Structure 1
Amino acid sequence: MSSLPADCLKSVTFPELNRTLGSLSAVKKCEIQDGTAQITIELPVPGYPHKEELSQSIEKQIRSVSADVNQVDIEYTLNIKGPESGAKVGLHVKNMIAVGSGKGGVGKSTVAASLAYGLQSLGAKVGLLDADVYGPSIPHMTGSTGKPEVREHLNSNGSVVQRIHPVEHDGLKLMSIGFLVPEGEAIIWRGPMLHKMLTQFVAETEWGELDYLIVDMPPGTGDVALTLSQMLSLAGAVVVCTPQKVALLDAVKAIGMYQKVNIPILGMVENMTGEIFGRGGAEQAAADQKIPFLGEVPIEAEVRICGDERRMKDLFTEESKSKAALESICSRVAMEAAKVYFKKPATTTLEILQ
């Protein structure tokens, strides 16, 4: 066995991320055994769509520095990076991503649940926070039941504190007001109560170590986004809309709201694409706003049925007609979050309009 030069791959670049393997300390193994180069590369993002291109660059570089190589075997591992969104409040959450819309009824919760299950299927540790207090639907869509538990924890200074433990279901960690009130009961709260609940669900909950915490936002522009922008370093926001113009007008307002509170816009998702509502409206709006377009969710009956029947996870089985489209959106969201992080860490400074 012989070793290749320790820095022979440091200048190879991750396609689209514009960061080198050296800058991310991504080369975990680089050696030759019996004419075979054995390479292990740590990927910083799940569902990385350019592995084939990266592999070609690595093989080309290996062959340029060693004539002894007959074969190049590359293994990829995963160590997701992010702005440590929960650090300000003592959480170990790398990327907190808000999923919002300018209006209700566009499938925001469907997209949020799909992102959670999709990122999990790509190898990430994921939590899902239902911040839509007035219309919590995540418990129903995921089929999760039970109540969050409050348990005592010992702080580093020796004091005892109480922490909320989220409901765990299908490998996801979940929090929602829907776990705490009877199904169908209306929540009638003013802003301060909403702020208190959100603080408890975020800062006082034992989320554990997560790569992603997806936040299903309430529709419109209001208190929740302001609270999150002040409390956390969000990785970014995904804006959901349907193709028709009336929905796009409100989606543009949501984009403006996120920009005003310095939450990076990861892009737009067009939901319910098809003959009924049309196609392409969100893609054009994203181009007009100069933000990424993340993909389309076709208006398939399967998506509605899985949500109604409390089994959103089934959208990511091999038999699912919607799997390819949803997985593509999930990998694009992860990629855009990584690009924001590597370009400039997300900030939470709130701009006060004068």
Structure 2
Amino acid sequence: MLSEAEVLQRVRSLKDPEIGRTFGELDMVKAVQTTGSTVHVTIELPTPAYPGKHRISDAITAAVKEGQPDVTAVEVKFTSVVQGKMSGGAIGLRAKNVIAVGSGKGGVGKSTVATSLAYGLKTLGCKVGLMDADVYGPSVPHMVGSVDRPTAIKVRTESGEEIERIQPVDVDGLKVISMGYFLKPDQAVIWRGPLLHRAITQFLKDTDWGDLDYLIIDLPPGTGDISLTLSQLLGLAGAVVVCSPQQVALLDAIKAISMFNQVKIPILGIVENMSGEIFGRGGAKAMAEELNVPFLGELPIDSGIRIRGDAGRISTLFSEENPSREPLVQICEQVAIQVAKQLLVAPKMPTLEIL
């Protein structure tokens, strides 16, 4: 029978299937115990939304049982602690990871994907906030089915100063803030850049988000200056680019990727929305491969998504059986693991050429 030290050595030498470094390097092995002929291993994941946990269980079971007929069972238990940059600390934002969701043009379902991503990560066990930064066309309140207005309360800081903080709307455990909560249904926002900058800054600094694993920010379509504002205020975990499969949408998505690169926001990957017969399929995946950025998945064109969005029931995409549930969960898992990779995969040092 293997000793616990030998089991630990075997498990620590295995490579994580998603991140590509060993469990020992990533400090993911938290406990090893043998009880009779059973070996118990506890692995700490960098996110509850880790995709395909069974691959880790299978690899550990095979490694521990190899050449050990006395080992009859291997039980792998998973815990998770979300890793994050905590880059919003300078402005009082206690979110481990801030993720921007953008697109090169309107009409590709960016807000639907952003809202679904927030609900999906929450469903998978994460603490999530959703900030609607699409000031000119705030649609998030409608999609989450919330008509409540954010409230303001006075809180006292550690120094004893009394300040006013905005309380986000709580929708089934998801914290939400949007300009839509402050406007009449037919009211248009006619603002120049400085006012936009001020509103976005208030949403980030003056809102009592609490402790979050992920704050999802739904950006306006196109390549406007809100992304620049975010890059100046925060070190974002990254950006998700949403596009539909047809060529005209892909051309604009390339511009969005270029914008994020220019303002130093990492690209987490591309989501192909409304994939199917009407708009085609596979265009975003091909573009991702060409640009060497991750492809996060495709979301089929499905009337159920539109119906739930119109009815303010986007959350039910994860609680009810529907054709979109599985691809949405996969997209959420891929976004979460890409965020973890940004932190845990050490960048390669550039090779210096000696002249």
TM-score range, shorter-chain basis? over 0.9
Bigger Cα displacement from structure 2, 285-294 vs 210-219: 285-294
Partner SS for 1:123: coil
Letter in 1 for 2:309: G
TM-fit CA distance, 1:24: 3.2
Bigger Cα displacement from structure 2, 168-177 vs 12-21: 12-21
Which residue number in structure 2 is paired with residue 35 of structure 1? 37
Which residue number in structure 2 is paired with residue 79 of structure 1? 81
Letter in 1 for 2:215: L
Which residue number in structure 2 is paired with residue 351 of structure 1? none
For residues 135 and 187 of structure 1, the distance between their equivalents in structure 2, rounded to whole angstroms, comes to 8
TM-fit CA distance, 1:25: 2.8
For residues 315 and 274 of structure 1, the distance between their equivalents in structure 2, rounded to whole angstroms, comes to 19
Which residue number in structure 2 is paired with residue 171 of structure 1? 173
Which residue number in structure 2 is paired with residue 124 of structure 1? 126
CA contact (8 A) 1:195 1:224 kept: yes
| TM-score, scaled relative to structure 2 | 0.92
Letter in 2 for 1:264: P
Partner SS for 1:333: helix
CA contact (8 A) 1:314 1:320 kept: no
Which residue number in structure 1 is paired with residue 291 of structure 2? 289
Partner SS for 2:12: coil
TM-fit CA distance, 1:3: 6.9
Which residue number in structure 2 is paired with residue 337 of structure 1? 339
For residues 319 and 345 of structure 2, the distance between their equivalents in structure 1, rounded to whole angstroms, comes to 34
CA contact (8 A) 1:270 1:282 kept: yes
Which residue number in structure 2 is paired with residue 144 of structure 1? 146
Letter in 1 for 2:338: E
Taking the TM superposition and a 5 Å limit, the aligned residue runs for 1:49-64 are 49-63=51-65
Identity of aligned residues (%): 53
For residues 123 and 148 of structure 1, the distance between their equivalents in structure 2, rounded to whole angstroms, comes to 24
Aligned length: 344
| TM-score, scaled relative to structure 1 | 0.92
CA contact (8 A) 2:21 2:345 kept: no
Q: What per-residue deviation string (whole Å, max 9, x for no partner) do you get for residues 287-327 of structure 1? A: 22111111111111001100001100111124122101111
Which residue number in structure 2 is paired with residue 202 of structure 1? 204
Q: Which runs of 5+ in 1 are unaligned?
A: 346-354
TM-fit CA distance, 1:344: 5.2
TM-fit CA distance, 1:90: 2.1
Residue 134 in structure 1 maps to residue 136 in structure 2? yes
Letter in 1 for 2:116: S
Letter in 2 for 1:4: E
Displacement over 6 Å in runs of 4+: none
Alignment counterpart, residue 91 of structure 2, candidates 89, 92, 105 = 89
TM-fit CA distance, 1:64: 5.5
TM-fit CA distance, 1:121: 1.3
Residue 182 in structure 1 maps to residue 184 in structure 2? yes
For residues 160 and 213 of structure 2, the distance between their equivalents in structure 1, rounded to whole angstroms, comes to 28
Q: What per-residue deviation string (whole Å, max 9, x for no partner) do you get for residues 249-296 of structure 1? A: 111000000000110001111111111111111111112211111111
